[in-house]
Amino acid sequence: MFDHIGFGVSDYEASKAFFLKALQPLGVSVVMEGPFGIGLGQNNQPSLWMHQSTQTLAPLHLAFAATNRKQVDEFYRAALQAGGKDKGAPGIRPHYHANYYGAFVIGPDGHNVEAVCHRPEA
């Protein structure tokens, strides 16, 4: 449904560093960057846009698709190493559905950042 989403951040460099490290296991990298902010994505398609903001920011829930459960595990480790705070270690969340394997961290600006795989274990 979404082509891309954008939001403001209170510390551009800190958010850039966090999201690049946390999302690297999912194949996300910088696609574009300039005075308008930064576009992160896969396959040369910017999907997540961030820009510096001086406004009061409301925390978001950002869930990123993982191809497999290993990527969820790697995301979680990388996000914690990047300064994220634990909100839920990798694991099955059966209250969503039988194969919902996700991990959650709190990132810059209080955003709830998740990686999720909906496939059964290989």
**In whole numbers, what is the pLDDT of the chain averaged over residues?**
96
Tokens 């795989």 identify what position? 117
Region 15-19: what's the mean pLDDT?
98
Give this prediction's pTM. 0.94
Which long-range contacts does 23-28 make (Cβ < 8 Å, 24+ apart)?
23/64, 23/75, 23/78, 24/78, 25/71, 25/74, 25/75, 25/78, 25/115, 26/64, 26/65, 26/66, 26/67, 26/71, 26/75, 26/115, 28/64
Q: Is the pLDDT of residue 56 over 90?
A: no
Strands 29-34 and 61-65: unpaired
Q: How far apart are CA 50 and CA 12, in angstroms?
A: 8
Helices (H) and strands (E) in the chain, counts: 2, 8
Local confidence band at 16 (pLDDT 50, 70, 90 cut-offs): very high
